[in-house]
Structure 1
Amino acid sequence: MCGIAGYVGSRDSADVLIGALSKLEYRGYDSAGIAVSENGSIKVKKCQGRLKNLVDKMDREGKPVGHVGIGHTRWATHGEPSDINSHPHGNKRVSIVHNGIIENYKQIKDFLLKEGYNFVSETDTETVAKLLDYYYDGDPIATITKVLAEIKGSYALGIMFRDFPDVVYAVRKESPLIVGIGKGENFIASDMTAILEYTRNYILLEQNEIAIVEKSGVKVVDIHGEEVSKEMNVADWDIDAAQKGGYEHFMLKEIHEQPEVVKTTITPRISNHIPTFENEGISLDKLSSYNNIFIVACGTAMHAGMVGKYVIEKMARVSVTVDIASEFRYRDPLINEGDLVILISQSGETADTKAALELAKERGAETLAIVNVKGSSIARAADYVLYTHAGPEISVASTKAYMVQVSVMYLLAFQLAYAKGKISKEQLVEYTKLLENIPEQIEEAINLKPACQFAASKLLNADSLLYIGRGLDYALSMEGSLKLKEISYIHSESYAAGELKHGTISLIDDGMPVIAIATQKDLVEKTISNIKEVKARGAFVVLIAAPGVDVEDGVSDVTICLPEANQLLMPMVAAVPLQLIAYYTSVLKGNDVDKPRNLAKSVTVE
């Protein structure tokens, strides 16, 4: 979950690395560090805390000066956040940065201790640095190859050898890493946002391929030292997409981008108001052939999957099971040939979701990835892939990535319902037209900011609160609760409204906030009845309601009325005020909205 970067060229490498790490800090901000080739030695600067701490330290002490270097921003796994546990790790001969987990580091460490090595940190990464030093015989590729044969786990490594001051070496297994190709300069990075300022051209490394990155060019070899021909890719993001663009926070910018990214995601997959996935190789016959559907994801992506489950089952009458990826393979799921497993991941690198994909393929099921990052591990491994077009999402709390994932789930549901003969072609066109209009309704929902800010002001002193809803509103309440807790640090839970009286209502006391969602017309009366139950016990109720919902006086303390939309598609509209309430609550509490404590954007370790 850490971010790594590397540079070889003519620029001041420290400046390039700090700029790159500033774009990667969403991947972890427990510590930061750089290593630079300077006058025949490797000079390291690193410290605990945000990247700014490292910049301040270098302002006081001086920065390493050179044109070749590697950098790291850390999300701690092995060893607490500290100066000594910060990356880079190594000694006078070798220095490395690492994203991932070395599973057998303890055995390697025990061996190296017997060989006379001393360890100063608690990290698994230091064992790799020491093992590189142990095997180093003047040949970097041979040394790296020997180390790769011994280490187990996931890793993306940036490596420097003192004896080769003009080269950065890079290798990956499971963890993300790209190699950026510039003019007279080249890069490595955990993702493209780090280097968009310099280039949009990049190559992807397969498992255990070794990149030799020099100013003049990049060479890739396999573990046998044989050169590998690589295809050049061009990122379709630009530098403006990775900037705040005048907004106070990335999260607010990304909320505002939702109408456009939904349009960009669905438009290429609609022809004459009919969904089509032919360009992705998914025909109507193929889609209708599956026996069962499993949706596997983590966090926000799993909540998008929950919306997908409701809509697919309601419209297509196909059984859908939604699983948390971290639990999927451990419950020995009943998946077989003829089933479809849909994997949803913004980054396409989520470790638990990748493991679920591998299990699905072992069992003979076909796999469909819904991801935002082209060339990511999940995208490359799946049988089919549907790319969302959210662009770079920098804020740790996902907004626009969730929205485009949901939009793809609707397209799949409509297409599947038609393929199964559950709706007519005329109905298919009607539903698709409704989805095509959703970006305008999302825009209207964004204009509810004043009401959401007022609702947020009423949550500041809460220790705990509940989100409730029924049907699609319950699926949406799960995402609303997650958004609030991850950036405001207020404990919140989501419950199916009808479950309150089976235990949870005992938590309600005077003034406790309850955020209720009521958008499903056939369930509104029952939801209002549940709201009355919590109100009678002293709850402070914020109601997010569809137009026309008849709310008696005294039922809610704050009511946010949504724009008009078809109730089936209402989750895409109602998600916006939930995002805004979480955002403004965090802002009013003075939190770092884009970089909430203890969290990283992409979870690339189990």
Structure 2
Amino acid sequence: MCGIVAAVASRNIVPILVQGLQRLEYRGYDSCGVAVHEASLGNTGAGGLRRARSTARVAELMAQVQHEHLQGATGIAHTRWATHGAPAVFNAHPHASYGPNVAPADSTRGGHVALVHNGIIENYEALRTHLRSRGYEFASQTDTEVIAHLIDSLYDGDLFAAVRQAVQQLRGAYAIAVIHKDEPHRVVGARAGSPLVLGVGTGAQAGEHYLASDAMALAGVSDQIVYLEEGDLVDLQPGRYWLTTQGGKPMDAQQRPVRTVAAHSGAAELGPYRHYMQKEIFEQPRAIADTLDGIEAVVPELFDGPHAAAWRVFKEIDRVLILACGTSYYSGCTAKYWLEDIAAIPTQVEVASEYRYRTSVPDPRTLVVTISQSGETADTLAALRHAQSLGMQHTLTICNVATSAMVRECKLAYVTRAGVEIGVASTKAFTTQLAGLFLLTLALAQTKGRLTPEQEAAQLKTMRHLPVALQAVLALEPQIMGWADEFAKKENALFLGRGLHYPIALEGALKLKEISYIHAEAYPAGELKHGPLALVTSSMPVVAVAPHDALLEKLKSNLQEVRARGGVLYVLADADTQIESSEGMHVIRMPEHYGQLSPLLHVVPLQLLAYHTACARGTDVDKPRNLAKSVTVE
């Protein structure tokens, strides 16, 4: 979602700020901006804050910055995904405060305080009313502007002190970076509920310090990263930095260690592909191979955390609660079938954004499993903390980012190796999540005495064959492109699946609606007669996932119900299902039946269908409207 980059140095850091924003573009945004302190380069004649903001792409912002000769050794930058207020220049960050009883001046001037913010301030209306009573005028519709005015109202010659006082009045989530006109060589940051990292300059950049919402923004600039925790404040000045708690207690290097993080920007190169989503779909065989690399046996130690042994935790649990959002939620729904079938462990899957707002019945013998691509998903983190507050301390995450908040806050973890995923619509992160969840199922089954050595060997052999099987599925792309040409003409679609493949139908419908903007719904095929059949006409394509499993004959009956109403079927069928193409029945044959791991194969054609349909409709595949990659606000 929103991205932050900030720096203090002794050279012009505008190119670093803008380059950092470019590395965060994959998160999704609708405006961007940068603010610098002109006097930080010794230009005492200019001596104030200046900013540039745009609702265009970061490349256009760079052109604007160059045209306006914006330079400074201290600065902040931001990409915004709109929450409060429409996407418009006056709502774009950085926001500024010009003091009380002063009308907002030329928008290129930075005022007294300039600030960037990720998150949502829940009590902004009360703060706005209070600040207006003190003479502050507001130039935007955002919740962020109140923070800038609040800091200005508290400023008495020490920016760090003003920020520390201000954040004590904020309710909600925030990661902020702030500069002040009277302190040209200082950036102050704070975080609560939204991620923020500190980058420490080394070598030729020794003495420079940076802030960012994601270590990837600092790739090529600094690989020495300090992860800020809840309530931390950080003070950056050339040659030194220090951290404190919100209450002012200093943090030492042992409490907030510097970590070496290889955030290589090369992973984000598009290469020969048309879009990142297409690239990431075709990276799935490698991503699965990397995720399974080095696994010779199913052992609980695969899930060990720095402070807990998985075998001990697994012995103490007899239920599983999965918390996730969006695509990750559907991977959890798939895992429920595995966990109850293979490991015989009762499993509940909850939408993370709903879980903490209802009364639930906690059980301390529950393994709480969170699933997140970024490991910074605000709703999932909040749901995790809620579960912990209810006394459920056995926690495990399936996550793609080893340094994320989710990994740090869970006792156990399995880090998938999907690599950087740029496209907003998740693909390789989803399939690697499924691989990790299947391994978790096997490990729990083994711990509970429900997996024999022969079964373990057979399952591992099947998993190791997954990359080859996925390559064969990707070869179906030309046939799927033919389907996409027809789907591009439609405005509605229905997806059907049964049992283990119902969540895959849900994921297929989500992918189509995310990037092609076609309204798509998914149902268990057995539910057709209970409502959805009313929608079926010749203009409503119906996609069915048809593996050769125990529910195949039931599914065939459901397909006949669609045909009898004039519906047009698009069926992904295993080779031996005896479902043939005919009038109104389009069939693509999957290369092989893959048993309990079949969901990893059947989801790939659905990803390709969504991708090529979106291409045919001319939408922005990698950055679909209104959506963001990392949802770091509630």
- Scaled to the shorter chain, the TM-score interval is over 0.9
Q: Larger deviation: 405-414 or 345-354?
A: 345-354
- Tell me if 1:216 matches 2:239: yes
- Percent identity among equivalent residues? 40
Q: Larger deviation: 594-603 or 47-56?
A: 47-56
- Tell me if 1:271 matches 2:296: yes
What CA distance in whole angstroms lies between the structure 2 residues aligned with 1:276 and 1:90?
51
Q: Is the 8 A contact 1:417 1:423 kept in 2?
A: yes
Could you list the per-position Cα deviations for residues 60-115 of structure 1 after superposition, in whole angstroms to 9, with x for gaps in the alignment? x5241122211111111111111111110113221000000111111211111111
Q: Larger deviation: 129-138 or 242-251?
A: 242-251
Q: Is the 8 A contact 1:170 1:210 kept in 2?
A: yes
Distance 1:103 1:283, change over 3 A: closer
Deviation at residue 245 of structure 1 after TM alignment: 2.6
Q: Larger deviation: 7-16 or 273-282?
A: 273-282
Q: Is the 8 A contact 1:154 1:173 kept in 2?
A: yes
What CA distance in whole angstroms lies between the structure 2 residues aligned with 1:385 and 1:416?
14
- Tell me if 1:585 matches 2:628: no
- Residue 480 of structure 1 is matched in structure 2 by 508
- Tell me if 1:125 matches 2:117: no
Q: Is the 8 A contact 1:274 1:429 kept in 2?
A: no
Q: Aligned letter for 1:506?
A: A
| SS of equivalent to 2:78 | strand
- Residue 145 of structure 1 is matched in structure 2 by 164
- Tell me if 1:348 matches 2:371: no
Q: Superposition pairs for residues 288-327 of structure 1, below 5 Å?
A: 288-327=315-354
- Residue 252 of structure 1 is matched in structure 2 by 278
What CA distance in whole angstroms lies between the structure 1 residues aligned with 2:399 and 2:361?
24
TM-score (norm: length of structure 2)? 0.91
- Residue 6 of structure 1 is matched in structure 2 by 6
What CA distance in whole angstroms lies between the structure 2 residues aligned with 1:425 and 1:290?
22
TM-score (norm: length of structure 1)? 0.96
| SS of equivalent to 1:494 | strand
Distance 1:520 1:476, change over 3 A: farther
Could you list the per-position Cα deviations for residues 554-606 of structure 1 after superposition, in whole angstroms to 9, with x for gaps in the alignment? 27643222222421101111111111111111111111111000001111222
RMSD: 1.9
Distance 1:556 1:569, change over 3 A: farther
What CA distance in whole angstroms lies between the structure 1 residues aligned with 2:464 and 2:251?
48
Q: Aligned letter for 2:252?
A: V
Q: Superposition pairs for residues 153-302 of structure 1, below 5 Å?
A: 153-183=172-202, 184=205, 185-223=208-246, 224=248, 226-229=250-253, 230-268=256-294, 270-272=295-297, 276-277=301-302, 279-280=304-305, 281-284=308-311, 286-302=313-329
| SS of equivalent to 1:208 | coil
Could you list the per-position Cα deviations for residues 513-552 of structure 1 after superposition, in whole angstroms to 9, with x for gaps in the alignment? 1111011421112212211221222222211112222113
Q: Larger deviation: 208-217 or 115-124?
A: 208-217
Q: Aligned letter for 1:202?
A: I
Q: Aligned letter for 2:418?
A: A
Q: Is the 8 A contact 1:295 1:342 kept in 2?
A: yes
Deviation at residue 285 of structure 1 after TM alignment: 5.2
Q: Superposition pairs for residues 370-389 of structure 1, below 5 Å?
A: 370-389=398-417
- Residue 54 of structure 1 is matched in structure 2 by 61
Count of residue pairs brought into register by the alignment: 604
What CA distance in whole angstroms lies between the structure 1 residues aligned with 2:224 and 2:84?
34
Q: Aligned letter for 1:198?
A: V
What CA distance in whole angstroms lies between the structure 2 residues aligned with 1:194 and 1:519?
42
Deviation at residue 288 of structure 1 after TM alignment: 4.1
Q: Aligned letter for 2:327?
A: T
| SS of equivalent to 1:70 | strand
Deviation at residue 11 of structure 1 after TM alignment: 5.1
Gaps of 5+ in 2: 40-46, 98-110
Runs of 4+ in 1 over 6 A off after TM superposition: none
- Residue 42 of structure 1 is matched in structure 2 by 49
- Residue 30 of structure 1 is matched in structure 2 by 30
What CA distance in whole angstroms lies between the structure 2 residues aligned with 1:158 and 1:318?
46
Deviation at residue 461 of structure 1 after TM alignment: 1.0
Q: Superposition pairs for residues 390-469 of structure 1, below 5 Å?
A: 390-469=418-497
Deviation at residue 274 of structure 1 after TM alignment: 5.8
Q: Larger deviation: 279-288 or 12-21?
A: 279-288
Distance 1:117 1:237, change over 3 A: closer
Gaps of 5+ in 1: none
